[in-house]
Amino acid sequence: PDRIQAPAGNGSAVVLRGNRHPRATPANDRGAVEASFKTAGMTFLLKPSPAQQAEIQQLLARQQDPSSPDYHQWLTPEQFADRFGASPNDAAKLTAWLESQGFTVDAVARGRNWIQFSGTAGQVRDSFRTEIHRYNVNGVMHYANAAEPSIPAAFSEVVSGIRGLNDFHPAPRLRKLVPENTTANGTHHIVPDDIATIYNVAPLYAAGIDGTGQKIVVVGQTSIVLSDIQTFRTRFNLPSQTPQVVRVPKLPDPGLSQNDLAEADLDIEWSGGIARNATIIYVYSSDAFDAAQYAIDQNLAPVLSMSYGFCEPMDLVDLPFFQSVAQQANAQGMTWVTASGDAGAGDCEDLNAIVAQAGKTVDIPAVIPEVTGVGGTEFNDGGGSFWSATNNANGGSALSYIPEVVWNDTDSVNGLASGGGGASTFFPKPSWQTGSGVPADGFRDVPDIALAASPAHDAFYVFTGGSAQFYGGTSLGSPTFSGMIALLNHYLVSTGIQKQPGLGNVNPTLYRLAQNTSGVFHDINSGNNMVPCPASSPDCVNGLLGYNAGPGYDQASGLGSVNATNLVHQWSSAPPKRSAVVAAIDQNPVFQQAPDQAGNAWVFTLTLNEEAGIATT
């Protein structure tokens, strides 16, 4: 139904609380930009109604229930729009208003849950009642809105926020540290054949499961040089595959960004290095979230790999929208895999920080329940015969699975360098996140799994910028696991278990497998993601904050690393039948308002949903 019932031009406005970046502070302010300053890539974030939000949660549960008629019946973006997006009339009214203010409407989402537009700082000032200022943050100049924007009150039931009023973009999650050894003294540069051996992917290749017919979309913030990708594939005798490159239309072209190039090459090379015959679609813009948003709205592939993020408290007001986009991905059958962060339990610290001062924080989008977050491990190969003295024809030397500990290279030289993990302060505990070791904290915990990530111990080979480089970080886990999910899709389709690829949110099944099978996960029992902190800072205990590994699930390594072949063959074992009632709040976070006639200043709707497809009173 239409939700915009009043005209937009009656002068009544509402402030969009929380739509100001935390780094846009008076201390960093360097004054207003000129009125003609171009502001491209702005986005109206459109929220579902409470009824739509309840329905999408129920649909996602039914799509994962083998006994439901909706099981794996994935939606198209247009079907999603008709059930969960804004009405066509409301989208048209918003578009017409933006154009009446002088903005250019660049795109209306196929899912009708966002509208992208561009204009100038003067138009932003006149339309949203906020100025765009320049801000100097750690020596880098940014722009951002100086006050929270306002929109016509008539839009408040549909528009939840405005993205793109600033240029604070998510950061890549790759690391290049000072190695503890040279290759001559025992450090190994990891290549695709090594991962195929260590995580037992090789038997899938032997059975013909190599990603043929599958697609993975990788998102980034730079253009790429295709010859780098081709050199990587040639070096390790991978099948000839050229990635499809898509720049998000109508958004500014970031060009070749040296700060992002290694991340893009890493993600493309390693997702294709695992799913060796899959088609890799690389989507980029100046903001990786815009690229992910576009890839989901265009339904480009059943698997989405993202190695960018920022800390959860940086943008609390937009988290419901990010979750809505992730829910759209899941409803379309897309599995979204992302890195959990590289600063241990202190995700909000600046890059290259030596100590953590902001307390325990986690990374977005990894912490979204509809996204799979991948943490970091380090091979614990001391005292064992895990490596061959020579490399095979594909450059590999690993002989078997290698025991792992939590990745933690944090020291005074490298700063904070450890796998991200911890508890959300925003997302409630999903019904499926249960099992041995899962904290009874009421909130979503990350990571879900963990894979090799240490750049100081065994860095991964990446060909970038015309030469071989060696990297680590949780950035490696995201494309690696995305490749494994593509192999899983290939297996399920090739064996007739599924008619089409697509798994949606794999998290419920991962946690079910951890409880009901053996051999799928390598439980990580040693190590921690603790980082140093000042004694007076939040969550600091004896100069450290973070989490220890332990039996079962833990917030340093999740469920552990995976045995890919066992994961694939155990995937379709029947899930248990049990009810799950989950509470959801609209307008999350809730802001204080002027009291109504009854004196109520905190207004929200609480909805209870049964999400497991079981009849429940």
Which portions of the chain are predicted below pLDDT 50?
A: 180-185
What values do phi and psi take at 437, rounded to 5? Answer: 90, -15
Q: DSSP class of residue 436?
A: T
Q: What is the SS3 assignment for 254-298?
A: CCCCHHHHHHHHHHHHHHHHHCCCCEEEEEECCCHHHHHHHHHHC
Q: Which residue has the tokens 């000129």?
A: 34
Q: Are 122 and 36 in contact (CB under 8 A)?
A: yes
Q: Are 142 and 168 in contact (CB under 8 A)?
A: yes
Q: List CB contacts of 100: < 8 A, sequence separation 6 or more.
A: none
Reduced to 3 states (helix: H, G, I; strand: E, B; else coil), residue 156 is: coil
Quick one: pLDDT at residue 390? 87
- By C-alpha distance, which of 189, 195, 8 is closest to 95? 8
Asked if residue 365 has a cis previous peptide bond (ω within 30° of 0), the answer is: yes
Q: DSSP class of residue 137?
A: E
- By C-alpha distance, which of 522, 511, 549 is closest to 433? 511
Cα-based angle 364, 169, 13 (whole degrees, multiple of 5): 85
Quick one: pLDDT at residue 413? 83
What's the Cα-to-Cα distance from 530 to each of 95, 283, 310, 539, 582, rounded to whole Å? Answer: 48, 34, 19, 11, 32
From CA 445, how far away is CA 362, in angstroms rounded?
9
Quick one: pLDDT at residue 222? 97
Rounded to the nearest angstrom, the gap between the alpha carbon of residue 94 and the centroid of all alpha carbons in its chain is 28
Q: Are 194 and 397 in contact (CB under 8 A)?
A: yes
E-strand spans in 47-113? 104-108
Query: Is the backbone of residue 148 left (phi > 0), alpha (psi -120 to 50) or beta?
Result: beta
Strand-strand pairing, 544-545 and 38-46: unpaired
Q: List CB contacts of 599: < 8 A, sequence separation 6 or more.
A: none
Reduced to 3 states (helix: H, G, I; strand: E, B; else coil), residue 428 is: strand
Q: List CB contacts of 486: < 8 A, sequence separation 6 or more.
A: 211, 214, 215, 216, 271, 274, 275, 278, 302, 303
Q: DSSP class of residue 312?
A: G
Reduced to 3 states (helix: H, G, I; strand: E, B; else coil), residue 114 is: strand
Q: What is the SS3 assignment for 482-527?
A: HHHHHHHHHHHHHCCCCCCCCCCCCHHHHHHHHHHCCCCEECCCCC
- By C-alpha distance, which of 207, 563, 194 is closest to 392? 194
Q: In the chain, what is the straight-line distance between the N-terminal and C-terminal CA atoms, in Å?
A: 29
E-strand spans in 16-131? 29-32, 38-46, 104-108, 114-120
Span 355-368, pLDDT tens digits: 999 999 999 999 99
Q: Are 232 and 462 in contact (CB under 8 A)?
A: yes
The alpha carbon torsion through 24, 28, 31, 37 (nearest 10 deg) reads -50
From CA 208, how far away is CA 240, in angstroms rounded?
17
Span 475-500, pLDDT tens digits: 999 999 999 999 999 999 999 999 99
Q: Are 459 and 281 in contact (CB under 8 A)?
A: no
Q: Are 291 and 218 in contact (CB under 8 A)?
A: no
The alpha carbon torsion through 452, 454, 455, 461 (nearest 10 deg) reads -10
From CA 430, how far away is CA 440, in angstroms rounded?
12
What's the Cα-to-Cα distance from 14 to each of 151, 229, 322, rounded to whole Å? Answer: 6, 49, 22
Token reading at 254: 């970031």
Q: Which residue has the tokens 């240490």?
A: 454
Q: Which residue has the tokens 């960004």?
A: 257
Q: Are 81 and 111 in contact (CB under 8 A)?
A: yes
Q: List CB contacts of 139: < 8 A, sequence separation 6 or more.
A: none
Token reading at 389: 């003295």
Token reading at 365: 């989008």
Q: Are 72 and 502 in contact (CB under 8 A)?
A: yes
From CA 377, how far away is CA 408, in angstroms rounded?
8
Quick one: pLDDT at residue 577? 57
Query: Is the backbone of residue 211 left (phi > 0), alpha (psi -120 to 50) or beta?
Result: left
Q: List CB contacts of 476: < 8 A, sequence separation 6 or more.
A: 174, 266, 270, 451, 452, 453, 460
E-strand spans in 231-322? 244-247, 279-284, 303-306, 308-311
Q: Angle, to 10 degrees, between the axis of helix 77-84 and the axis of helix 50-63?
A: 140
Token reading at 269: 């090379």
